[in-house]
Structure 1
């Protein structure tokens, strides 16, 4: 018999359902619509940009702009940077202006707009935009620096100096020192330029560009000890610095060490085989060694690489005169005069060529122009006097002889010229022929220039001479003294990522076409005086 309790234990009783809650009876709401995140692919854009994978970067940018209907500021910004790298400056300017509209309080956008205007040559407009950016960020040294560079292009050097000094006050940078020194070089003030570069070297003693530039300035002033010291320091930090090697070689060439100079130039030729100053200097080394065919070959290569460099044409004319190839000399000297019409020595050498080509009338005109342009070069007056004497014009010859004596007295008093013994001998013969007796200016003993290469600095009015070619290095190095040192471009997001900096502006080598590489100091040429070249028409 089964117990009631056991029966109940094994029977399943029906369960009473609980009433459903009110919430469960309500219909479910639809999920809220997801809005696109404008910056969700900024990281990928940044990654492709810094890897310089521009095609992939542009593909991601295109996709991002389609998703955001053209409202992603960072994608537009990086696209503008890529367009500018590809040379599409106007298109990049329009995109940067779009960024400035999307984010009007961002100084970086305005700086990029101003940089694009600068690259388009609209310097006044660039200054206005930089001033707007300065209102948003008053402690940005880059803005002051770039405004100063714009003023350099506008040739407003005083305003440029003020802006560059402001930039140095905010933050000292090598590039700002370089541009400030360049202003002084454009103004022809070498002393102030040297002071600026000395401060720059104190601030950045391992910067080989600053050391090389300072050494070249000392070289131009003839302070060889300091020049060698700074160039040596530059080579210590960078043994492959071709500018410093070229300058050191030119110093050795100036002092007649042609073989050592050629050894230096061989090193430079490996780094910059297409350098016009290099081949000019090599050519003049061969000229100094009296290897004239090799000299002409090197100089013609330099002329091919830089057809509008008057110094190379001058040297070619000089070598052809030495080889008595007067028609070729006339050709190159005429070309040099068309590029440098204010240099008296060019007209003098042209007159020598014309005299040997039996064209005395044009030779007289060339001598007259040389005497007008260079009043402190006795060689011009001496050659002119000889030509007039040969033509039977003794009165004119006497006048030129007396003018020569006046120039010699001035140069002797200043101690800036060593007289060539052959020049002295010819002057005494001409004086005897003109019956003026031995002039007192020739009574002092002179050094024989055949044993020591005398120098003539044609860049100075005093007519002190130097062998052609030594300061060709100076011309090259000073034109790139501001070298295109570009900060590494990078891109970043609108929030977490850092944007690429708007690069400090630097004048191109074309600026160095003002009295400067540019933009830079006046370039001097070196000239190897072969005994008798300058006075070939003096021989009687």
Structure 2
């Protein structure tokens, strides 16, 4: 238990290789531990080895089929790989076991948006907004969906709600999400709604640089250009992985799924860009898949 907890701490700080070495020690004594395989899977996710991550998470799901946290992580990895039907399957299963978590509905709405089921995506966002009063990502991405569907008034309402949540989080010192990921989309959303002057992003350094890069990309509301394709929206919402929470798995093993230090996921690509970094990072060849599965097997050995 102590070794698994130590590995979890290393994992939360982004030291995935060190964490995997700790997990190998645990696997030699407790090879059938669901928290162990969940954490190994999320280590591979952090290393952007998505096939190995899914392999390990599915093993964890086999060992503990009713653990919603494992289903959550499976849905998240499939969203990252742009496998939206599979993501919908796992997120729906997670919601059945944890119906009061707004973030699950938010991610489900992303999958539905990319599956072009807009009406159910809106219902899912409404449920997420009703359940989660603190997460600004919910309101921001709901605003993007409404704007892309032509509902500027509804988008403005959700954008203002997002600003309120960010201000409240700053005042309470609970700003645990990754603000850099939100800056670009929020700036574009503000420019599109012509409310850019009221933006709440005021931190200097890296965030100010992100603002400067994002500002020229803002769309004019008069042209009503969409803020991104379904794929870009899914990538933006997958950034909820960096929200700063760690999902503690039960059974007293001390394991957690490290959502705070997961890989940086791109948001909306520029119109002249050829492809997003995420698209090029997803393994496609059979040889790469065999290699990553071998690595996941080494974790067990």
Shorter-chain TM-score range: 0.7 to 0.9
How many Å apart are 1:412 and its aligned residue?
1.1
Matching residue of 1:426: 185
CA displacement, residues 345-380 of structure 1 (integer Å, 9 cap, x when unaligned): 100000000000001110000011001110110000
Count of residues in correspondence between the two structures: 238
C-alpha change, 1:524 and 1:260, in structure 2 (3 Å) is: closer
1:465 to 238, 244, 251: 244
2:138 corresponds to 1:405? no
Runs of 4 or more above 6 Å deviation? none
Matching residue of 1:445: 204
2:12 corresponds to 1:246? no
Q: Is the 8 A contact 1:322 1:530 kept in 2?
A: no
2:11 corresponds to 1:278? no
In structure 2, distance between residues paired with 1:275 and 1:524: 13
C-alpha change, 1:439 and 1:539, in structure 2 (3 Å) is: farther
Q: Is the 8 A contact 1:254 1:466 kept in 2?
A: no
Q: What is the aligned-residue RMSD (CA, Å)?
A: 2.6
C-alpha change, 1:432 and 1:382, in structure 2 (3 Å) is: same
**Bigger RCO (CA 8 Å, 6+ sep):** 2
Say which SS state the counterpart of residue 159 (structure 2) adopts. Answer: helix
Q: How does 1:40-59 map to 2 (within 5 A)?
A: none
In structure 2, distance between residues paired with 1:402 and 1:444: 19
Say which SS state the counterpart of residue 324 (structure 1) adopts. Answer: coil
Matching residue of 2:251: 476
Say which SS state the counterpart of residue 363 (structure 1) adopts. Answer: helix
Matching residue of 1:531: 264
In structure 1, distance between residues paired with 2:65 and 2:43: 20
C-alpha change, 1:457 and 1:317, in structure 2 (3 Å) is: closer
Stretches of structure 1 that go unaligned for 5 or more consecutive residues are: 1-242, 449-455, 480-522
Q: How does 1:227-306 map to 2 (within 5 A)?
A: 243-306=1-64
In structure 2, distance between residues paired with 1:322 and 1:457: 11
How many Å apart are 1:525 and its aligned residue?
4.9
Say which SS state the counterpart of residue 284 (structure 1) adopts. Answer: helix
In structure 1, distance between residues paired with 2:91 and 2:58: 14
C-alpha change, 1:311 and 1:446, in structure 2 (3 Å) is: farther
2:121 corresponds to 1:363? yes
Q: Is the 8 A contact 2:113 2:121 kept in 1?
A: yes
In structure 1, distance between residues paired with 2:264 and 2:135: 16
Using structure 1 for the length normalisation, give the TM-score.
0.42
In structure 2, distance between residues paired with 1:365 and 1:529: 28
In structure 2, distance between residues paired with 1:262 and 1:437: 44
CA displacement, residues 455-494 of structure 1 (integer Å, 9 cap, x when unaligned): x999xxxx962355xx33xx22269xxxxxxxxxxxxxxx
How many Å apart are 1:530 and its aligned residue?
4.1
CA displacement, residues 387-444 of structure 1 (integer Å, 9 cap, x when unaligned): 0000000110000000000000011112222543231111011111001123341122
Rg comparison, structure with higher value: 1
Say which SS state the counterpart of residue 476 (structure 1) adopts. Answer: coil
Using structure 2 for the length normalisation, give the TM-score.
0.73
CA displacement, residues 144-164 of structure 1 (integer Å, 9 cap, x when unaligned): xxxxxxxxxxxxxxxxxxxxx
Stretches of structure 2 that go unaligned for 5 or more consecutive residues are: 208-238, 272-301
